[in-house]
Copies of this chain bind each other. A is one copy, B any other.
């Protein structure tokens, strides 16, 4: 058995900016540690201070490079920055392996930056539970901006968007992304589109495609119209424009109730994911016992249908 972590001491040290304590707390989140309720209770008073920026896009659009440059630009304004690189596709490896992460080592000696790759393995409730809890840790540690980066596959990008205050969707010319973006429902979640690799052929066409698609959407007066920014992150070009777009979205959010709604939405997703995880764990406990296996055997024999069996199972909770 692992020793029970001293949550109070860890949170106090993380509040003081101790990177190792931050790391340990996020590891507890990643592993779905039994101490998490205690961690959450200790962090609750510090909720809602950080700006959460989601950054997503297909593989190869330059997410890591852009994140790296954004960190640099944000640090130049004196902000404390946290980066969560979430890998939704690696339930097995036990800790996400992101090759590009090596580039982030630009910032490893800067105490104002905390960078962490995480997978959603182990945690009941998956991505929706782990990410907001890791955000809480970084908020507690005094980060002003938290960048949550994830590859746009499956449902991950939409999940991340539901957790971020501001969502950046990266596209690159010539990847057919403008069309893909519409297909994948990304158009609905993006607050800012970044056309990265804007020095490449086709960048203007991608820009026009996105602007055209945004023109088709219906918006009520006062609604946010997504901004489209061009960048060549690998050369550091357009990064200030991205920061300006994030700030503009932030200002719009603060003017109305969007920021408050975004935080409540994040909390709702988190609470729901934790509740589901708890219920799943209880069903898992039933699996250890005889309830589920008895029901499953009856289903396999055709004596009872699976819905009736599921109802029985729920009654036993």
Contacts and interface: CB of A to CB of B under 8 A. Distances in A.
B306 A132 contact: yes
B307 A37 contact: yes
Interface stretch (A67-75, A87-95, A237-245): A87-95
A278 B310 contact: yes
A300 B40 contact: no
A293 B153 CA distance: 29
| Total identical chains | 2
Nearest to A276: B280
Contacts of A313: 271-272, 275
B47 A302 contact: yes
A267 B307 contact: no
A295 B271 contact: yes
A90 B274 CA distance: 25
B276 A154 contact: no
A147 interface: no
A44 interface: yes
Interface string A161-196: 000000000000000000000011100000000000
A310 B40 CA distance: 12
A292 interface: yes
A19 interface: no
B93 A306 contact: no
Interface size class of A (residues with CB under 8 A): 35 or more
A263 B300 contact: yes
A263 to B, nearest CB: 4
A159 to B, nearest CB: 10
A36 interface: yes
Interface in A14-35: none
A44 B304 contact: yes
A227 interface: no
A92 to B, nearest CB: 5
Given A40-B308, A92-B183, A271-B296, 10 more contacts: A37-B305, A37-B307, A40-B306, A44-B303, A44-B305, A45-B302, A89-B153, A267-B296, A267-B309, A278-B310
27 contacts: A36-B307, A37-B305, A37-B308, A40-B305, A40-B307, A41-B305, A43-B305, A44-B303, A44-B306, A47-B300, A47-B301, A48-B301, A90-B154, A92-B155, A92-B183, A93-B183, A154-B154, A264-B297, A264-B300, A268-B293, A270-B299, A271-B296, A271-B306, A274-B306, A275-B283, A275-B313, A279-B314
10 A-B pairs with least C-beta separation = A268-B296, A37-B307, A267-B299, A274-B310, A40-B305, A267-B296, A275-B310, A44-B305, A47-B302, A263-B300
